[in-house]
Amino acid sequence: MIESKANRKFKEAAFYNSQNDGGYFLLPFKFHRLNGEKEILVNEVGDYLILPTGTTATIVNRQISKENNSELYGDLIANFFISEEAIHPLIDVLATRYRTKKHFLNYFTGLHIFVISLRCEHTCFYCQVSRVTENRDQYDMSIQNIDRGIEIMFKSPNPHVTMEFQGGEALLAFDNIKYAVEKSEKIAGEIGKQITFVICTNLALVNEEILYYCKEHKILISTSLDGPQSIHDSNRHKPHASSYALAIKGIKLSREILGEDQVSALMTTTTLSLEHPIEIVDEYYNMGFPGIFLRNISPYGFALRTEKSKYSTDKFIEFYKKALGRILEYNFQGHYFTEDLARIYLTKILTPFNTGFVDMQSPAGLINGVIVFNYDGGVYATDESRMLAEQKDFTFKLGTLNDEYKDLFFGAKAQEIAQVWSNEALAGCSECAFQAYCGADPVHHHATQGDMYGYRPTSAFCQKNMEIIRYLIELMESEPKIKKIFESWISKK
């Protein structure tokens, strides 16, 4: 059917040329009502203005003028919301700002996750992988797959790659880690690439020998700490032992041998955690960590088999706000202590820069920033993708380590995912004021809504991001000293 002229998406050029009837042209921006009194206007590069409710309508209806609203008019011009010329005279500055925001795309995949073994000696109920305690040959990554993973990793155009060993429990395959580290160090030296190594471990098996090896090879340790003993041990069950006691002992020994800043920890929020935001924050603070990352559980896969990890996004947001309140109390007392999810959003809100955090990017971090080489040779777009594969859902399997680089990273599957990995092009996100601060997560939407495109009005990913971003902005607006604290988190001072 031929569309009638009246229904065409774009109007005639003359219509747009007449759009500066009020003396200015509109540049692309979006707005969001923060509360009954204020609304936020955000431009293409994330600069924002907070104005009284209803201001957007007056701007769009050309009811403001240089003469009558000089301060607002000047702010709108200076911040690329309106222009007196059809092409803004500083369009190149705007383009540079846009490039800076998308700088993370320049180098392509940096993080290469090697699932070195699926075996584990813990039985955490929310574990994202199926645990297997025996049968090493079947569930450890073979030397052949390690070699091929290293070969593919060094094909990345990124001059600085990260090789992260995950499990199961990665230290159960420490000999294979040593093989992979030494081989990669040698190649990195020969071809002039920088490489960072990370071992993700519950630390139950760590010992001095392992840690001195890590020190020699500059390997970072990333561990799990879900809070005080009662929460940690309930979440992370280890038969006949306290996982918490082993983790704390391991953190202390790792800090002693590697240095304070070489050991990081992550928490996962369960239904039990929801009742203890203060205790969890206090545990991180008392353990001397510079901050905490308040992470909700991925609402799919293995985690959904138990009630202990099923909770609504509302409950998580409530928990998050209480925990953030406690963190701010520490800061009010003069201590530097951050919340890392907030730090990611705030970097995007308050600076011209983006972050390297792969879960909150547009285009999404999968493939562009991270790739997963599974123990069995499967190649997945993200860690959550291989978790889905353990449930026999291979939607995000890009191929195997035997495939060519171009077929894995630019093949049919990657192209299919690329259709939905930019929030600029997703219904709901494309008009959202928080688009520049948020990201796209096709894996989450596929897993929770059965469609990787996703439907924002019922998306838990959207609900969480929208409310936390709104809340952070509201906090900054309500108290200048909170804004100062947030700025210090970004500048790390």
Interface with ligand SF4 (CB under 6 A), residue from 414, 465, 472, 486: 465
- Give the CA distances from residue 92 to residues 26, 74, 97, 98, in Å, rounded to whole numbers and listed in that order: 17, 19, 9, 10
Least distance to ligand SF4, CB of residue 431, Å? 8
Q: Applying CB under 6 A, which part among 5-13, 277-285, 310-318, 424-432 lies near ligand SF4?
A: 424-432
Binds ligand SF4 (CB under 6 A): choice among 97, 238, 413, 456: 456
- Considering only 42, 115, 432, 472, the residue that binds ligand SF4 (CB under 6 A) is 432
Nearest to 387 by CA among 127, 129, 201, 116: 129
We find the least distance from the C-beta atom of residue 113 to ligand SF4, in angstroms, to be: 24
Give min distance, CB of 292 to ligand SF4, in A: 23
C-alpha to C-alpha distance for 322 and 315, rounded to whole angstroms = 11
- Cβ closest to ligand SF4, residue 158 vs residue 435: 435
Figure out which of the listed residues 128, 264, 270, 423 binds ligand SF4, where binding follows CB under 6 A.
423
Q: Which is closer to ligand SF4, CB of 127 or CB of 429? A: 429
C-beta closer to ligand SF4: residue 265 or 429: 429
Shortest reach from residue 32's CB to ligand SF4, in Å = 9
Helical ranges in 339-382 per DSSP H: 340-350
Q: What angle do CA 462, 351, 357 make, to 5 degrees?
A: 50
Nearer to ligand SF4, 30 or 232 (CB): 30
* Residue 410 or 455 having the CB closest to ligand SF4: 455
Of 438, 443, 475, 476, which one interacts with ligand SF4 (CB under 6 A)? 438
- Give min distance, CB of 455 to ligand SF4, in A: 10
Q: How many residues contact ligand SF4, by CB under 6 A?
A: 12
Nearest CA to 404 out of 151, 145, 144 is that of: 151
Alpha helices in 193-304 (DSSP H): 208-216, 229-235, 243-258, 271-274, 277-286
Binding residue for ligand SF4, selected from 271, 428, 453, 483, defined by CB under 6 A: 428
Residue 457, token pair as written in the block: 């009005």
**Is residue 429 part of the contact set for ligand SF4 (CB under 6 A)?**
yes
The answer to whether 100 and 137 have CB atoms below 8 angstroms apart is no
SS3 371: strand
| Per-residue DSSP letter, 2 | P
**301 to each of 49, 127, 448, how far by Cα in Å?**
40, 9, 10
Token output for 294:
């308040």
* Cβ neighbours, 10 Å, residue 480: 9
Least distance from ligand SF4 to the Cβ atom of residue 313, Å = 12
Q: CA 275 to CA 404: how far, in whole Å?
A: 48
Segment contacting ligand SF4 by CB under 6 A, of 83-91, 109-117, 334-342, 428-436: 428-436
Query: CA-CA distance, 31 to 35, in Å (whole number)?
Result: 12
Q: Which long-range contacts (CB under 8 A, 24 or more apart) does 403-411 make?
A: 403/379, 405/152, 405/155, 408/152, 408/371, 408/379, 409/108, 409/109, 409/367, 409/371
How many angstroms separate the CA atoms of 33 and 352, rounded? 23
Helix or strand holding residue 419 (H, E): none
| Beta carbon of residue 81, minimum distance to ligand SF4 (angstroms, whole number) | 19
Sole binder of ligand SF4 in the list 303, 466, 473, 485 (CB under 6 A): 466
Q: Does 462 bind ligand SF4 (CB under 6 A)?
A: yes
Choose the stretch contacting ligand SF4; rule: CB under 6 A; options: 174-182, 195-203, 400-408, 460-468.
460-468
The region of 93-101, 124-132, 412-420, 459-467 touching ligand SF4 under the rule CB under 6 A is 459-467
Nearer to ligand SF4, 413 or 445 (CB): 445
Q: 420 near 426, Cβ under 8 Å?
A: yes
Tokens of 120: 């584990």
Q: How many CB atoms lie within 10 A of CB 276?
A: 20
Of 344 and 379, CB closest to ligand SF4: 344
Rounded Cα distance, 322 and 289, in Å: 19
Per CB under 6 A, does 354 bind ligand SF4?
no
268 near ligand SF4 (CB under 6 A): no
- Give the residue with the Cβ less far from ligand SF4, 161 or 364: 364
B/e letters for 71-80, b = 16+ CB within 10 Å, e = fewer, are ebbeebbebb
Applying CB under 6 A, does 341 fall inside the site for ligand SF4?
no
Return d(Cα 381, Cα 375) in angstroms, integer: 14
Q: How far is the CB of 216 from ligand SF4 (least distance, A)?
A: 43
**Shortest distance in whole angstroms from residue 163 CB to ligand SF4:** 31
Selected range binding ligand SF4 among 19-27, 112-120, 220-228, 433-441, rule: CB under 6 A: 433-441
The tally of CA atoms less than 13 A away on the side-chain side of residue 234 is 13
Q: For residues 269 and 423, which CB has a smaller minimum distance to ligand SF4 in the complex?
A: 423
Q: Where does this chain touch ligand SF4 (CB under 6 A) — which range of 257-265, 410-418, 457-465, 475-483?
A: 457-465
The answer to whether the Cα torsion of 186, 189, 191, 197 is positive or negative is positive
Binding site for ligand SF4 (CB under 6 A): 423, 428-429, 432, 434-435, 438, 456, 461-462, 465-466
